[in-house]
Amino acid sequence: MSESSFPATLDRLDEMIAFILDFAERQGLNPGAAYKVRLAAEEVLVNIVKHAYPDGPGTIGIACAPAEGAAGIAIEIKDTGLPFNPLEKSDPDTALPMEERPIGGLGIFLVKKVMDDIGYVRDGDTNILRLVKHAS
Amino acid sequence: METTFATELKDGIARITLVGKLDATHAPALQEALKGLIGQPVDKIVFFARDLDYIASAGLRVIIFAKQQIGAGAQVYLVGAQAPVLDVVKMSGLDTFMTVQDAFDA
């Protein structure tokens, strides 16, 4: 188990991702799985940085643990910003040509595509998103 | 690899060389660079991605931006993309609307 918290700012994004990837590597994730963890982590963290705290600075808590059952990583990402359940967002229409695409909505969709399991709970004033990626 | 983006426009072909990471941190710099192409005569938008290690949705959005703002009639090419990058492009469905190839000869 490895836990830390960071200011919810874009200039700390690389540090947050490195924190998660270090743990993922220790769980034996291959480069392909690690790439997917990086992608999901970035999408979730950027969303929080950009939208969770419209009124001022905020914090992001990250906890990494070995996945249950099979080898892998379970990542818990917490913020105390606006309630937001990414699983309720509808998927974008990937058949739309580029000139008709709305600019948003892709990030969460990619998270759903690349993770093996995603769970969300709102606990009091805290959004808790749990992401699981198996090693292979 | 250090992230750099280079753009060049010649004979209606916009060549954009992507190196490093096209993530939320770096995508705005590319978008700024591409703004210089708005209003220019562009028939082809060619992204050279051989040395691109990573792309996230922020990067995909810049590709969509390029198509929407630079030339709705322009053909978009993705050249030499590594498998993990190409996977993300495919997940988004954008590969259907661009020409994906290993090499580009104008």
pLDDT digits over B63-96, tens only?
A: 999 999 998 789 999 999 999 999 999 999 999 9
> What residues have CB less than 8 Å from A78, skipping those under 6 apart?
A60, A61, A62, A63, A126, A127, A128, A129
Contacts of A18 in chain B (CB under 8 A): none
Taking alpha carbons only, the member of B52, B67, B54, B46 closest to residue B4 is B52
Q: What DSSP element (H or E) covers A132?
A: strand A126-134
With CA atoms as reference, report the closest residue to B13 among B77, B90, B62, B72.
Answer: B77
The reported pLDDT for the residue numbered B1 is: 78
CATH number of B4-101: 3.30.750.24
Q: What pLDDT digit, counting tens, does each position of A25-68 carry? A: 999 999 999 999 999 999 999 999 999 999 999 999 999 999 99
CA distance B10 to B13: 5
Q: Is the pLDDT of residue B105 over 70?
A: yes
Does residue B73 or residue A136 have the better pLDDT?
B73
- Contacts with A83 (C-beta within 8 Å, 6 or more apart), sequence order: A122, A127
Domains of chain A in start order, with CATH, are 2-134 (3.30.565.10)
What is the helix, strand, coil percentage profile of chain B, to 5? 35, 35, 30
- B34, B57, B68: which to substitute to probe chain A, counting the most A Cβ within 10 Å? B57
ipTM for the whole predicted complex goes beyond 0.95: no
Under 8 Å between Cβ of A38 and B54: yes
pLDDT digits (tens, 9 = 90+) for A61-108: 999 999 998 899 999 999 999 999 999 988 889 888 888 887 778 999
Q: Which residue has the tokens 């104008």?
A: B106
Residue carrying the six token digits 């699981």: A132
For residue A61, with 0-12 CB atoms within 10 Å meaning exposed, 13-18 middle and 19 or more buried, which class applies? middle
Instruction: Judge: A103–B92 Cβ closer than 8 Å, yes or no.
Output: no
Q: How much is the average pLDDT of B27-39?
A: 94
Q: For residue A110, what pLDDT is reported?
A: 96
Interface test with B, best of A13, A39, A112 (most B CBs within 10 A): A39
The token pair at B55 is 């792309």
Looking at the complex, does the CB of residue A56 fall below 8 Å from at least one CB of chain B?
A: no
Query: Which residue in B has a C-alpha nearest to residue A113's C-alpha?
Result: B91
Supply the pLDDT for residue B106.
Answer: 65
Phi, psi values for residue B74, rounded to 5°: -80, 145
- φ and ψ at residue B4, rounded to 5 degrees: -140, 150
pLDDT at position A105? 82
Q: Looking at residue B72, what is its pLDDT? A: 79
